[in-house]
Amino acid sequence: MANNTTNRKLPLKMPPDWEPPVPAWSSVFAENQQDVSMCIIGCQHKSDAYISEFVGALNGLAKNADVCDFATCEDKDGLSQTIAIIYWMDAQACADWLHSDVVTLFWELYSDDKWGFGIFREVFNVPFERLETLFSGPVHNHGFSQIRKDIEGPIERHGYWGGMRDRIPLSAENPFEAHQTLEVIEQQGNRVVVRAHENLCIIRSGQDWSHTTGTQREEYLNQIEPVLKAGMNFLRDEGDEVNCYSCRYMTQFLPFKGKQECTFGLAFFRTMSDLEAWSESHPTHVAIFNTFLEIAPKYGPDLQLQLWHEVSVLPAGSQYGEYINCTEGTGLLAGVKLS
């Protein structure tokens, strides 16, 4: 998904004669692939709530999706959020699935107060010209890259402030500014629907330490992860300071099999510029970045820790979040004022 240097209206951020401090790779998809749809469907619940039936039903519904990852976290209100991130590489297939009888019945069933938990779904469709992926190794893949065609790299455009933007093809002509705000388009009792504004920026940034051993495992768990968690907690609890609507620091799991040694931060920023500003200058991210660079370069291609991310900048359209019986700090709800 590299963008050409010729015919750019906006200059690259990459410094002259840049050499990345560590190698990285990007995913390559089929040339006829136009976009990816991402549906985040989950429940907000007390830690001891019975949600196995919900998870089992959702797992069954998503069996025909292109990718489905389950994960859980603790949110800023002290509740748990358990979700499936479901990817479709065909926007029409995603829309048909969302409006199918089985998904409609599932949504109606679990929107009932009797279950004692809230439910939500956040639905986004992103053109490939508005997204980028990055991996610390050429073999591993996560997120929607689990169905990529190939991988490109080691790439040049990474490791400097602005590399994320440079890797998004449309950044050659679009500064990705936001001129609107999140908007409540429907509110009825305990149900709220929020429409995303154009250029809302979503990042899913993951860590897989299942392949680490010995010193590398100790370094991740004792040095990198605590600093990472502190940064994610800042975005979760105080993200409004940096225009981050919400952040979930999630642990992946396999339904009815247990947690995996994989985590990711899933954050919604007002704009890519806000994400860049936090990344470049806020002490919580600077600490993450510096800690990683103190450790990773000494291993080079032998780094066992798998790091990755996918970043997208939304176009205007039917991008929305729907929340039933959820707290006001949940997802896109955190960015609006309710009546």
Active site positions, annotated: 309
Output DSSP code: residue 299. Answer: T
Helix (H, G, I), strand (E, B) or coil at 300: helix
| One-letter identity of residue 41 | I
Question: Residue 62 CA to chain centroid, in angstroms?
Answer: 18
* Token pair listed for 246: 């919400």
Residues 6+ apart with CB under 8 A from 273: 176, 177
Helix H or strand E encompassing 102 = helix 101-110
Angle CA(35)–CA(37)–CA(42) in degrees, nearest 5?
165
* Token pair listed for 331: 């997802």
Question: Residue 224 CA to chain centroid, in angstroms?
Answer: 20
Return the number of other C-beta atoms located less than 10 Å from residue 301's C-beta.
10
